[in-house]
Amino acid sequence: METNKEYEKKIKTELYNDHFENSKRYNIPRAQLIIADIPYNLGKNAYASNPSWYVNGDNSNGESDKAGKQFFKTDNHFNIKNFFDFCVRLLKPEPKKSSEAPCMIIFCAFEQINYIVELAKDYGFNHYQPRFFIKNYSGQVLKANMRAVGATEFAVILYRDKLPKFRNNGKMIYDWALWRRDSSDVPKIHPTQKPIMVLKDLIETYTDPFDVVIDPVAGSGTTLRAAAECSRSSYGFEIEKPFYRAAKEKMLVNIQTSMLFDFEEIPITESQATDIFDFIEG
């Protein structure tokens, strides 16, 4: 089999202005990886320790229009059981081969971890691994003289029985990582937007090139952009029209959906290369 030629392979990046519960109408493929940043249930305290609670971040100016408000009205309509139903349908089934199983990565509040882990078992996700992300800054500056402020993000990797696909090039990967902020060329669209560099690290660890990544609550679209930059197809759902439009017009506007790849430059096994060639040749 030749591996020194260039072949055209479509990388799809699709964002839908719809609820993930309506996913059946779009006929999207099953995912190797589902990434989701679910509501943290902060309610009216969403901005409580952030300077944006006040006009121009200055408490002497009085409260802003964000004071006493939650991030999103749609958070009240998020049903985590329906979310897991979606994930069961859209995540690939367990494979026969080892080290090929799919998984989910859920960003959540620390207080939600145990609840998510226990609920996931009802849907066949019997195992989990925690991941921690350490920042060198905190948005809780208004609490700085009252307590140790939060500077950590939390996520849980959920999988069924077989260990998920894990691509680390033989290197050790810790259960914590630095929260690397995006450069200035990445637009800030969403108040809980996750950095592209953090997402790319996760995508490259738990998927291979041309795998499918799905984000059921896509927000700013950073998951989709990260997946495209890693040569993965991605599909996302965002019900809030302003975020959907901003993601399409700013975050995803320059994404290339058709790319050329030299398979010699892609670190894949012979069996993975065979699967890719079989797919391309029909």
Q: What is the pLDDT of residues 178-199, one digit of tens each?
A: 999 999 899 999 888 999 999 9
CATH number, position 211: 3.40.50.150
What's residue 42's pLDDT? 42
Q: Does residue 184 belong to any structural domain of this protein?
A: yes
Look at 259 and 113; give whichever has higher pLDDT.
113
How many angstroms separate the CA atoms of 89 and 23, rounded? 10
**What pTM did the predictor assign?**
0.80
Q: Does residue 161 belong to any structural domain of this protein?
A: yes
Q: Does residue 71 belong to any structural domain of this protein?
A: no
What's residue 258's pLDDT? 40
What's residue 242's pLDDT? 93
pLDDT bucket at 174, cuts 50 / 70 / 90: very high
**Sign of the C-alpha dihedral, residues 173, 222, 182, 114?**
negative
Q: Does residue 140 belong to any structural domain of this protein?
A: yes
Beta bridge partner(s), residue 261: 7
User: Which domain, by its residues, includes 154?
Assistant: 6-38+78-280
Q: Does residue 154 belong to any structural domain of this protein?
A: yes
Query: Is the pLDDT at 4 greater than 50, yes or no?
Result: no
Q: Does residue 68 belong to any structural domain of this protein?
A: no
Q: Does residue 150 belong to any structural domain of this protein?
A: yes
How many angstroms separate the CA atoms of 177 and 194, rounded? 14
Q: Does residue 271 belong to any structural domain of this protein?
A: yes
Domain count, the chain: 1
What's residue 273's pLDDT? 47
